[in-house]
Amino acid sequence: MEKNMHTVTWSMHIFVTIFNLLQLQVFTLADRGTYVPSENIVINCGSSASEVTEYDGRNWTGDASTTKSSQIAEAPGIPVSVPRVPYKTARIFRSQFTYTFNVTPGPKFVRLHFYPASYLDMDVSKAFLSVTAGNFTLLHNLSVSLNTDYFHVAYLMKEFIIHVSGSTLELTFSPSSNATAAFAFVNGIEVVSMPFSLYFRCLNAPLPLVGHYPALYYICNDTAMETLYRLNVGGDQITPKYDTGTMFRTWEEDDPFIFGGDKGIEPINMSMPISYANGVPPYAAPKDVYRTSRSMETFKAGLINLNFNMTWFFPVDSGFKYLLMQVLIQ
């Protein structure tokens, strides 16, 4: 991954719902109404059919035509634990290949789905790919098989947040090597619009740069971000079908990221009514995010134990800037 390309700043993004307390000032410029994305594009790469999936309720469109610079293939022996859509089929690239989407200007989620397999009897360990979106380098020399092995997962989804200034979005895939056995692949692509003021705030909402006070950091339209972690603290996974704002975000359980044996207590009230205060849009997070939490242990007389700590551990890469957002409730 490259930090700067054509003077474009690269940042990574972390979402964590710590204690489920709502930090109202984060969303003061956001719209109070519901949000319907102007683009909700989902591509089932390498498939000849369009299929509706259970986990997000969307119709994934196939792109099965073979071109001079790409092929289509099916994953052999895909396990039942792996969703058939979009991971059963793939588009294979031996040279540069570009998807072009007609979109409206504004910020977008771009999600790329990968399932490592021996497509067309090729060695998946030779598959290293790079992906660009205009001037943004989203992925550089990525090995899907190495990543899935390291994280002990069957498939990989990479989510990015970019701003599109024109009427088209071009996603260019290419193998990272010119070697004979080199290739790249992708199983699924999502392009979903998001509210203008959700992340890109620029001069309207500068952020403090930890350790560099009084320096401020601005997230403007020339910044691309990658989502690393979006957690539902104290609760179950929330799948894209149940996300708010029709943005199809996934909220993972936080248990695997708790460091040490102190997990605190987990107050849960799934019937608790949730109302959004003025300035807080309903699409900030699903209501179930606010209904679960972690709290520090108490001791005598119900007082908070000030010697008690809870720690979440997140592996990250050095050399990048990270944004930590808390979704909180009072």
Tens of pLDDT along the chain (330 residues)?
333 332 233 333 333 322 222 222 233 333 445 788 999 999 999 999 899 998 888 999 999 877 778 999 999 989 999 999 999 999 999 999 999 999 999 999 999 999 999 999 999 999 999 999 999 999 999 999 999 999 999 999 999 999 999 999 999 999 988 878 889 999 999 999 999 888 888 888 888 888 888 888 888 899 899 999 999 999 999 999 999 888 999 999 999 999 877 777 777 788 888 888 777 788 888 989 988 888 876 665 556 666 667 889 998 888 888 988 876 665
Last-in-domain residue among 193, 216, 248 = 193
Last-in-domain residue among 160, 193, 226 = 193
CATH number of the structural domain spanning residue 140:
2.60.120.430
Last-in-domain residue among 152, 178, 193 = 193
Segments forming the whole domain that contains residue 100: 40-193
Distance, in Å, from the CA atom of 96 to the CA atom of 69, rounded to the nearest integer, reads 7
Q: Are residues 132 and 234 in the same domain?
A: no
Please give, one letter per residue, the 3-state secondary structure of 275-295: CCCCCCCHHHCCHHHHCECCE
Q: Are residues 285 and 221 in the same domain?
A: yes
Q: Are residues 189 and 264 in the same domain?
A: no
Distance, in Å, from the CA atom of 157 to the CA atom of 112, rounded to the nearest integer, reads 6
Q: Are residues 134 and 277 in the same domain?
A: no
Q: Are residues 72 and 184 in the same domain?
A: yes
Using alpha carbons, list the distances in angstroms from residue 202 to 88, 196, 198, 219, 251: 40, 11, 11, 5, 26
Domain count, the chain: 2
Question: To 5 degrees, how large is the angle CA 80–CA 86–CA 88?
Answer: 50
Q: Are residues 250 and 262 in the same domain?
A: yes
Q: Which residues contact 10 (CB under 8 A, 6 or more apart)?
A: 1, 2, 3, 4, 136, 137, 223, 224, 320
Q: Are residues 178 and 213 in the same domain?
A: no
Q: Are residues 177 and 212 in the same domain?
A: no
Q: Are residues 14 and 88 in the same domain?
A: no
- Tell me the whole-structure pTM to 2 decimals: 0.86
Q: Are residues 226 and 186 in the same domain?
A: no
Q: Are residues 138 and 231 in the same domain?
A: no
Q: Are residues 48 and 175 in the same domain?
A: yes
